[in-house]
Copies of this chain bind each other. A is one copy, B any other.
Amino acid sequence: MDFQAYNKILICDDEIVNVRVDSVTIGYEFKIKYPSYRGVFLSCIEALDFYVDGRKLDESTIFFYLNGKQFLLGELSELFKEYWFISDKATIRVIDPNGIAPGSHEVRVFMRHRVPYTGYFGEYLVLDSDESKTLAVSDRQEVSP
């Protein structure tokens, strides 16, 4: 049951933001943190799923932003040199020309992740972090991609 309390930091309280380029909406985004006491390389993430209002998002519509870069979820498991500092928020951008409706939405994040130093007798501890949080949509009109 180690690590369980860290799941509380997985979904950040930041509002959901509709992302616009000039006046054109290209999607919306929210923020997550790595649910542990320490940072890791992204390659330790074995699965990452997102649900908004109960609907699972198509992974081909999701970009993961960290360290000034944009990743596809399918790339994460190979990023053994991309470090996720424990205090840094990753931005999850959902590509959707309609953006997200104003108001509040329930965001659920499921992350399966490997604790890379735990192979005391060969097996790594693999954790399932599964959190939900209701987030408000920001009124902000202009956001940089």
A residues lining the B interface (CB < 8 Å): 69, 71, 75, 78-82
Contact = CB atoms under 8 A, between A and B. Distances in A.
Copies in the complex: 2
Contacts of A79: 81
Contacts of A71: 81
A78 B79 CA distance: 9
A71 B81 CA distance: 8
8 contacts: A69-B81, A71-B81, A75-B80, A75-B81, A78-B78, A78-B80, A79-B81, A81-B82
A1 B119 CA distance: 51
Nearest to A42: B81
Nearest to A69: B81
Contacts of A82: 81
A82 B75 CA distance: 13
Ordered nearest first, which 8 A-B pairs have the shortest CB separation?
A69-B81, A79-B81, A81-B82, A71-B81, A75-B81, A78-B78, A78-B80, A75-B80
Nearest to A75: B81
